[in-house]
Chains A and B, each alone.
Chain A
């Protein structure tokens, strides 16, 4: 956890970078499978990430379709009762 925090800090803080690192990240940190990461999304060649992307795209397009649908409904209402607005 500590290591992770330090990695995160080093990524986002220039000040910490300037301190010349109390902890040096080595290759071993990247191979360390004792630290739990978001492994489900990384298994099977990360195919689940692709599934997620496709799903998000579909939801986004559908949401857009739904907003068009609402605009059409608004137009229909306006045409039926033009005085009301």
Chain B
């Protein structure tokens, strides 16, 4: 995990998010009815969800690693990646509600994807509650690692399959035109993909700080 102590990727995160902010607010975007300038939320709201999926994927990988290798460091990397992933998800829900207020007419319209993403977040919050409720370290690590695998297995159908089976106002779901309708426009992609990488790296930076603090705390406990 020495890469977490190197600096270059933090500057990369800084540069990419700066590009997302400046390019995302100033570069040309398609002029679509109802969406208007809010289409720029693609670089901020949608990237939160992409970042969340990536962080939670890394979290579940660490959980699987813990179950196979049994090293504690895998366990607290799993929980910190989940923590920041959940933070991104909560920010995604809140920004989505603000966006929906002005494009769909109300913050919570019971849209299929809104509901399933809220359920997914509750499942992950239960992961944190579960961890908090088990005193024994090994038990906590093992049970929560297994729960994390189930949580991720539920996350994928909740976000990517169920909303497509019914009607959702999110692009690419239900009767709505696919994501490509506007998202895969070349000019949007030029900012969108760097923005996803930038926000995700920023999340990894937060994760790395929390992991390092935890390691320091553990060393202090072990030394005394």
Chain A residues in the interface with B (C-beta under 8 A)? 47-48, 50-51, 54-55, 58-59, 62, 65-66, 68-69, 72-73, 75-76, 79
Select from chain A the residue with minimum beta-carbon distance to B17.
A58
Cα A62 to Cα B25 in complex, Å, equals: 19
Inter-chain contact total with CB atoms closer than 8 Å: 39
Cα A48 to Cα B17 in complex, Å, equals: 17
Select from chain A the residue with minimum beta-carbon distance to B20.
A58
Main SS of the interface on chain B? helix
Cα A43 to Cα B17 in complex, Å, equals: 24
> Assuming the A-B contacts A65-B205, A76-B212, A79-B216, are A51 and B5 also in contact, with contact meaning beta carbons closer than 8 angstroms in the complex?
no
Are the CB atoms of A73 and B5 closer together than 8 Å?
yes
Q: Which of A50, A58, A68 contacts B209 (CB 8 A)?
A: A68
Interface string of B11-40 (1 = CB under 8 A from A): 000100110011001100000000000000
Does B69 belong to the interface (CB within 8 Å)? no
Are the CB atoms of B18 and A58 closer together than 8 Å?
yes
Main SS of the interface on chain A? helix
Q: Which of A47, A58, A68, A73 contacts B21 (CB 8 A)?
A: A58
Cα A4 to Cα B63 in complex, Å, equals: 66
Are the CB atoms of A79 and B220 closer together than 8 Å?
yes
Cα A47 to Cα B216 in complex, Å, equals: 45
Inter-chain contacts of A54 with B (CB < 8 A) = 21, 25
Sample of 6 more A-B contacts, CB < 8 Å, known A51-B25, A76-B216: A54-B21, A55-B18, A55-B21, A58-B18, A62-B17, A76-B212
Cα A65 to Cα B206 in complex, Å, equals: 8
Cα A66 to Cα B10 in complex, Å, equals: 9
Cα A50 to Cα B25 in complex, Å, equals: 10
Are the CB atoms of B25 and A72 closer together than 8 Å?
no
Q: How far is the CB of A41 from chain B (nearest CB, A)?
A: 13
Cα A55 to Cα B21 in complex, Å, equals: 7
Select from chain A the residue with minimum beta-carbon distance to B205.
A65
Q: How far is the CB of A22 from chain B (nearest CB, A)?
A: 43
Select from chain A the residue with minimum beta-carbon distance to B210.
A72
Are the CB atoms of A55 and B14 closer together than 8 Å?
no
Inter-chain contacts of B213 with A (CB < 8 A) = 72
Q: How far is the CB of A64 from chain B (nearest CB, A)?
A: 11
Select from chain B the residue with minimum beta-carbon distance to A72.
B212
Cα A50 to Cα B24 in complex, Å, equals: 13
Inter-chain contacts of A68 with B (CB < 8 A) = 209
Are the CB atoms of A69 and B25 closer together than 8 Å?
no
